[in-house]
Chain A
Amino acid sequence: MSEIHDLGYKRYAGTRQEASRRWRVIMRNTIANGWQTFFRYKAWLGAAVIVTAIAAVFIFIATSKTWHLGHGIQTTFADMALPFALDLFAKIAFVLSLRLGATIIAQDFASGAFVFYFARSTRPIDYLLGKLTGYFLLVGVILIGGPLLVALMRIGFTGYKDVSELIPQLWLIPKVVAVGIVGTIAYTAIPLGFSAMIANPRYSLGVWAGWYVIAGSMATAIGHAMNLPLGALDIGHAFHSVTAYALGNPIGIFGQRLDDLPLAACLISLGVQSALAIGAIMVQLRHAQRSGVGGST
């Protein structure tokens, strides 16, 4: 017999965490996994910090300078800083989804991790909650935290004569948080949905990028041609429109109109796409739970 090393053994007599709370372990692992290498998350968090800093500088030094946006609209640099920053935060969230979100579940498919999860007391709902919440927090730091900081600076750097001038400005905070939550849900659930539907991480990444960039642009173009709100299918376009309605900035960073889609269509599109993505994840997880352990049936 070969030599067996044993550090000693004692049966575990302590309490076990309730099964219904173990999704937090998966959430923590999802965040730790994102934090592991520079280009998974840290780089994009750094980009968001840079955007926030630039927005702060604009707000601070160019509070009352006028900006001609085209289409006969003019505003101040300070007022445009937040919408522009949100536009850039959304782009960062998309890049983050290419580096992390669109491959998270596909990676688990490829490595056989579902057997690892479902041979234990992990339920599909625990996995779903853990992955969604973990990635939501990562995206939320950029899409909720970033805009919130910019909004706070916008409010803070503006000189007020009295409190009555300040109070209307405070409405900016819930608006920004609401927009951030809408964006975070969409930029979390939809890429995760793609990563659940296509088990190969490279393919899921490609299909998600294709859906976001190519299918989105085509939907916008067809919508323009047919005078239908099909552009709401374009996740980026729909999110910018929601931003435009919430913050009152009808023109985008490149002079494009952002309020050409009905708000309801944008919200429905983002909501339905997110719900479908979560549904797809759940279906795949239930299948993985039944078929993974002990080989396929």
Chain B
Amino acid sequence: MNVVELTDLSKNFALIKALDHVTAEITGNVIGLLGPNGSGKSTMLKCLLGLIPFEGSARVLGLSSATEGSAIRDRVGYMPEQEAFLSGMNAVELCTYAGELSGLPRTEAMQRAHAALYYAGIEDKRYQPVDGYSTGQKQRVKLAQALVHDPELLFLDEPTNGLDPRSRDEMLDLIVELPGRRGCSIILSTHLLPDVERICDHAVIMHQGALKFVGTIDELRGAYGDDTALTVEVKADAQKLADVLSAAGATCKVSSPVQLSVDLPPHTTTELVFRQARAVELQIRGIEVRRESIEAAFLRVIGVAP
């Protein structure tokens, strides 16, 4: 089942088109929701959760956002970017309260609060007031409160914001394990593209209210290369191979005596490289499809030159 289905989704704020006829079927385990500030990510999230009216159709986990927002929010967990705690509560009280507000009986909510805090790695501090937690600890509690009511889909908004490298690694480890351990999908909204590259299998890119890309990370990075952008490693004399490939219509750039980048002409395959190498009696040690970096792919998709 698709996690999210959008058909002609539009939302205007006065004269501003926040979402412009967005149509997509979004699926995947960990989905990166990417876009510059003001691209429509927050508006889309509010529409999906049924918090604001919109035009068109949006379905989350098969439920209509327009008419079943409350049921959707029971089945979805949300980890906000900003602090969203209740003053004076400790982590167990907070997560239990969160579970109860999502309809769990008190005993069940309390058991799951302990389990969620344990999973988030904050079990030793769970009886201390959340107000006194460090940034990293607060992020963990935010993850736990989003998990406590057993959601089928998690929205994580900048979950690694403000974390030191070690805490960031730990947070990403926790997130990437969730689909396997909890059976939930994740939509990760972030500006940190390395995070997306590391844990996401799918990406959704938005820009100026329009959907610019939906697909796997490999499709995002590979779309530009289309298997014709290669890095070729030879035993020696890379320049010689570059010369013959250039003569055959390829664009080559020698990066070292044993390595060159090759952009093959249209409608050709790696066979051309092998044929030309054989012709000049050069031994090929390796060929790799050259992929774009995720940053370059992102900039290309939103139409900004890297």
Contact = CB atoms under 8 A, between A and B. Distances in A.
Contact of A113 (B41, B84, B150): B84
Interface of B: 13, 18, 41-43, 45-46, 49, 51-52, 69-71, 73-74, 78, 80-88, 97-98, 100-105, 108, 112, 114-115, 118-119, 121, 123, 145, 149-150, 157, 169-170, 173-174, 177, 181-183, 189
A262 interface: no
A121 B71 CA distance: 7
Contacts of A25: 97, 100-101
A112 B112 contact: no
A297 interface: yes
A39 interface: no
Interface of A: 1-2, 4-9, 11-12, 14, 16-19, 22, 25-26, 29, 33, 36, 107-108, 110-123, 289-290, 293-297
Nearest to B43: A297
A254 B73 CA distance: 56
A7 B86 contact: no
B119 A293 contact: no
Nearest to A1: B173
B85 A113 contact: yes
B85 A118 contact: no
Given A7-B114, A9-B181, A293 B80 contact: yes
Given A6-B118, A19-B70, A29 B97 contact: yes
A294 B101 contact: no
Nearest to B106: A25
A120 B118 contact: no
Given A2-B173, A17-B100, 13 more contacts: A12-B150, A16-B74, A107-B87, A112-B83, A112-B85, A114-B84, A115-B80, A116-B98, A120-B101, A122-B101, A293-B46, A294-B42, A295-B157
A54 to B, nearest CB: 33
A294 B102 contact: no
Contact of B177 (A4, A107, A112, A118): A4
Contact of B45 (A5, A9, A294): A294
B114 A111 contact: no
B1 to A, nearest CB: 16
